[in-house]
Amino acid sequence: MGPPQDGRIVKSHPVANNLRQLRSGDVYAAHTRRRNSYRIGLSVMAMYGATMADYGSYPPTPKQIETLCAVAALCVVKYGLVVDEHVRTHYEWAVADGYYPNRWNFMREGSTLRGKVKWYAQRWQQIES
């Protein structure tokens, strides 16, 4: 058995926990070093047993990636975010913050993922209209 690979959505923390300035002792969902305030963290249950050279027994599936991008798009629409400004992978934040050598992530293709998020966001906006 292993993590679900079918794109099921599992909610772990209320989004509202991070939609404010965080202070020591606050309840929040830590997900990106020094970037938890006003942030939504989405993840994929994958890569069990992964190493720097191998994605492990459970690499992310295409269905997981599509679901991740669709949920990110829902967040973009719901909270009025701008994809090119607000949607980033952990890898991209690590590079921006200078701790890339100590961090790795399978989602190095942030621009590709943002393209998918934009596509889904346009669909969600059409549905809301």
Q: Is residue 10 in a domain?
A: no
Higher pLDDT, residue 6 or 104: 6
Residue 116 parent element (H or E): helix 110-128
Q: What's the pLDDT tens digit per position in 38-81?
A: 778 888 888 888 877 777 888 888 899 999 999 999 989 988 88
Q: Is residue 57 in a domain?
A: yes
Q: Is residue 7 in a domain?
A: no
125 alpha carbon, distance to own chain's centre: 20
Q: Is residue 45 in a domain?
A: yes
Domain that holds residue 36: 15-128
Q: What is the pLDDT of residue 71?
A: 92
Going by C-alpha positions, the residue among 84, 70, 81 that lies closest to residue 42 is 70
Residue 19 to residues 26, 62, 124, Cα–Cα distance (Å): 12, 29, 22
Q: Is residue 2 in a domain?
A: no
The domain tally of the chain equals 1
Q: Is residue 117 in a domain?
A: yes
Q: What's the pLDDT tens digit per position in 79-102?
A: 888 999 889 888 888 888 887 766
Axis-axis angle for helices 62-79, 110-128 (nearest 10): 60
